[in-house]
Amino acid sequence: MPDAFDLPPLPYDAGPLAPTIDTATLAVHHDGHHRAYVDALNAALAPYPELHGRSIEALLSGLDALPAGIQQVVRQAGGGHANHQLFWKGIRTGGRLSPTGDLAAMIERDFGSAGGFAEAFVEAGLARFGSGWAFLVTDPHGQALEIVALPDEGSVLLPPGGRPALLAADLWEHAYYPSFRQDRATWLRGWLGLVNWDYAEERLQAIRAGETDRLGGPAI
Ligand code: MN
């Protein structure tokens, strides 16, 4: 039986992401860390063909209904897969440098300005002790924004109260240590400069249009 999930190739080369993400860090992060999550998730799902074909968003937002024996692996490795998918798609090697459209208006309303958002995002990332993720999340109707930082491979999709994320920044040292050592703030400011605002806006519009997979939002 084929695996439930594949590791999608990266949509870009490392070159244009430097110096925030260098070639070696990108390769280890994607082909090492992310692949390990996909492999662990596939191993856990192998005995459950009835779950194959279900999206990662559906598995996480419906975690409570999964067989008890695989809930922890789906929470951890599935959370890791979803978080990294969003991370890779949420950065770009060209395109707009700042939000526009509805998302720009919401950022201004909810954080005062794009600069206010950046400041709040870095602050939330620094306040998360240890490994984790910082997310820009919205509600299931795409009407309000919030910054949420979770430990480990925590997912904003998990019940109860799961919500879709528009963007995700990796706070694990494997994401930034080779370039920035312990300096998470500089990493996060660099990440903000790579954000694919077109992708975040597309996700917001898809959520508003109801193109959702339960609470999971549109396919990452
Ligand atoms: Mn990572």
pLDDT at 97: 81
Distance 101 CA to ligand 1 centre (A): 30
pLDDT digits (tens, 9 = 90+) for 24-80: 999 999 999 999 999 999 999 999 999 999 999 999 999 999 999 999 999 999 999
Q: Which two tokens stand for residue 71?
A: 């809930």
Using CA atoms, how far apart are residues 73 and 32, in angstroms rounded to an integer? 18
Predicted confidence band at 213 (pLDDT cuts at 50, 70, 90)? low
Asked whether the predicted pLDDT for residue 218 surpasses 80, the reply is no
pLDDT at 215: 56
Distance 81 CA to ligand 1 centre (A): 9
Q: Cite the DSSP H helix spans in the chain.
A: 23-27, 35-45, 56-61, 68-73, 79-89, 101-111, 114-127, 173-180, 184-192, 197-208
Residue type, 37: Y
Task: Check: CB of residue 6 under 8 Å from CB of residue 34.
Answer: no
Distance 141 CA to ligand 1 centre (A): 28
Distance 209 CA to ligand 1 centre (A): 30
Distance 200 CA to ligand 1 centre (A): 19
Distance 174 CA to ligand 1 centre (A): 6
Instruction: Give the rounded distance of the alpha carbon of 57 from its chain centre.
Output: 11
pTM of the model: 0.96
Predicted confidence band at 186 (pLDDT cuts at 50, 70, 90)? very high
Using CA atoms, how far apart are residues 193 and 16, in angstroms rounded to an integer? 12
Distance 63 CA to ligand 1 centre (A): 22
Helix (H, G, I), strand (E, B) or coil at 128: coil
pLDDT digits (tens, 9 = 90+) for 74-121: 999 999 999 999 999 999 988 778 998 999 999 999 999 999 999 999
Task: Give the β-pairing of 132-138 and 145-151.
Answer: antiparallel
